[in-house]
């Protein structure tokens, strides 16, 4: 019995340590939220003020609430975050080098903050870019224990194997959700 309680304590401590290191759990609001950089972002908290029906010429204080509202409506140099949990699809435009750099940043952010059993990554590439993606094979998030391969599609053989696995996995999930 003591052994089971030690496991429970260990499990709770591991969860606490993972949260302190920045790892997200699937139940967290910021799970799969990736910081893309900084920029101008609309404020989530809106400032509420009562608009004046008529302005008094002598009273300069009447204009201050509207000025504060307009000044704080857009936050400058704020973190720009993409929530992949909410996004159905995300497209990246720009030069090849800029897109690949952003792609690497997204992958590194995901694998650094998400535990590999909570997140499985799949990559699809053409043969010309196969070498650029070779570093991905070292990530535990890419290893597929069910099929014993890495989730990287770059030729016909890997395409067949990975797409078959994905089809079976998604079919199974649909059956479970239908119940």
Q: Which two tokens stand for residue 80?
A: 């720009």
Confidence (pLDDT) at 2: 39
Query: What letter does residue 145 receive in the DSSP assignment?
Result: T
Confidence (pLDDT) at 59: 73
pTM reported for the whole predicted model:
0.70
Task: Give the model confidence (pLDDT) of 37-80 as tens digits.
Answer: 899 988 888 878 777 776 666 777 777 877 888 788 888 898 89
Task: Give the model confidence (pLDDT) of 132-168 as tens digits.
Answer: 999 999 999 999 998 889 999 998 999 999 999 999 9
Residue 96 main-chain phi, psi, to 5 deg? -55, -45
CB atoms within 10 A of CB 145: 9
Q: Which two tokens stand for residue 160?
A: 């067949």
For residues 92 and 82, what is the distance between their CA atoms, to the nearest angstrom?
12
Q: Please compute Rg for the chain using Cα positions.
A: 24
């Amino acid at each position: 019995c003591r052994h089971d309680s030690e496991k429970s304590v260990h499990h709770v401590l591991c969860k606490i340590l993972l949260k302190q290191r920045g790892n997200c759990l699937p139940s967290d609001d910021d799970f799969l939220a990736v910081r893309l950089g900084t920029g101008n972002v609309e404020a989530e908290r809106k400032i509420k003020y009562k608009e004046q029906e008529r302005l008094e010429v002598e009273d300069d204080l009447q204009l201050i609430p509207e000025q504060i509202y307009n000044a704080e409506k857009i936050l400058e140099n704020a973190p720009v975050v993409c929530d992949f949990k909410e996004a159905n699809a995300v497209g990246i435009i720009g030069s090849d080098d800029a897109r690949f750099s952003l792609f690497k940043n997204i992958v590194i952010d995901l694998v650094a903050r998400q535990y590999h059993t909570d997140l499985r990554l799949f990559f699809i590439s053409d043969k010309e870019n196969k070498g650029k993606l070779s570093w991905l094979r070292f990530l535990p998030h890419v290893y597929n224990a069910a099929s014993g391969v890495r989730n990287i599609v770059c030729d016909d053989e890997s395409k067949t194997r990975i797409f078959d696995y994905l089809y079976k996995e998604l079919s199974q999930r649909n059956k479970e959700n239908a119940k």
